[in-house]
Amino acid sequence: MRHLISAADLTRDDAVLILDTAEEMARVADRPIKKLPTLRGRTVVNLFFEDSTRTRISFEAAEKRLSADVINFSAKGSSVSKGESLKDTAQTLEAMGVDAVVIRHGASGAPYRLATSGWIDAVVINAGDGTHQHPTQALLDAFTMRRRLVGRDAGLGQDLAGKRITIVGDVLHSRVARSNVDLLHTLGAEVTLVAPPTLVPVGVGTWPCEVSYDLDSTLPKSDAVMMLRVQRERMNAAFFPTEREYSRRYGLDGERMAKMPEHAVVMHPGPMVRGMEITAEVADSGRCTVVEQVANGVSIRMAVLYLLLGGNESAVSQTRTEES
């Protein structure tokens, strides 16, 4: 694999290798000096055309922990506002000696175009494109589920076979939902989407998952429940019930959370809108993995960068060399 564009491109073995490599990378984060020399002399640009808190900072932390030189580009305040195209922006950055481009873009397909157009030679990593894909989010979510539902050590080499994952909310506009459905299916999990009928994509019947409109009956059968933000910025008001109606039918509060099996976890990719899809009581409870997901995101992004750009040594041996 030369680029990471879509979770659908990953085989089970690819995905398990990334999850296992991320476990090795997590050991680096646990140490007083959180650095590996793996990407010394390599340059990574974080090319963000859309807002981000978690993904942008997490990639930057991962790149720095692998000793890469990091360039942060935000479309706001750049020559994009003067009409410069994606092609010219990317070629301008590559002319400065970039080895990898981490791109977030509002247009679905922009990372694919960058990777396949021949405009640049750099490795391309999709950090979220439109409503299409967010593969490193799906990987960090799978990593979090594997740790919580299988175990940190017991999970090595394992997938999520037989785990029942429920994804709730604005599926229509969610690249997180699409990426998770693809990856979780590859890893053997059973996925159920729960959403208002207006927020279910046309064509969902071809996706490898079930669809339900009844959250209450789905919760007791779930090992993990992933809540999605309603992406008001991407939708027409006609698509959306009132906030109160939405929360009543599809929001997760303490009473609903009590219907989940005791071992089950609540997930959210962030940013959360407290009081809308999730109450503060649930978001702040010990069953909610939202902060853990952010921490795991750094390990996953280190693993992806390492595997796409890394050195000849295995992550395991390099981690051990650093420790000795």
Site residues for ligand CP per CB under 6 A: 52-55, 128, 137, 269-271
Minimum distance from CB of 270 to ligand CP (Å)?
5
175 is an annotated ligand-binding site residue: yes
Residue 156 neighbours by CB distance under 10 Å: 14
The residue among 256 and 268 lying less far from ligand CP, judged by its C-beta, is: 268
Minimum distance from CB of 229 to ligand CP (Å)?
9
229 is an annotated ligand-binding site residue: yes
Distances (CA, A) of 21 to 25, 61, 123, 143, 180: 6, 17, 19, 11, 19
134 is an annotated ligand-binding site residue: yes
The residue among 103 and 315 lying less far from ligand CP, judged by its C-beta, is: 103
Minimum distance from CB of 50 to ligand CP (Å)?
8
Sheet with 123-129, strands from edge to edge, namely: 69-74, 43-48, 100-105, 123-129
270 is an annotated ligand-binding site residue: yes
The residue among 36 and 171 lying less far from ligand CP, judged by its C-beta, is: 171
Residue 173 Ramachandran class (φ > 0 left, ψ -120 to 50 alpha, else beta): alpha
CB 131 within 8 A of CB 175: yes
137 is an annotated ligand-binding site residue: yes
HSE, side-chain direction, 13 A CA sphere, residue 272: 23
CB 167 within 8 A of CB 181: yes
Minimum distance from CB of 144 to ligand CP (Å)?
12
The residue among 296 and 319 lying less far from ligand CP, judged by its C-beta, is: 296
Within 8 A by CB and 6+ apart from 32, the residues are none
HSE, side-chain direction, 13 A CA sphere, residue 95: 6
Minimum distance from CB of 223 to ligand CP (Å)?
21
The residue among 89 and 126 lying less far from ligand CP, judged by its C-beta, is: 126
82 is an annotated ligand-binding site residue: yes
Torsion of CA 155, 160, 162, 166, to 10 degrees: 130
Known binding residues for L-aspartate are 82, 175, 229
Binding residues for carbamoyl phosphate are 54-55, 104, 134, 137, 270-271
Binding residues: 54-55, 82, 104, 134, 137, 175, 229, 270-271
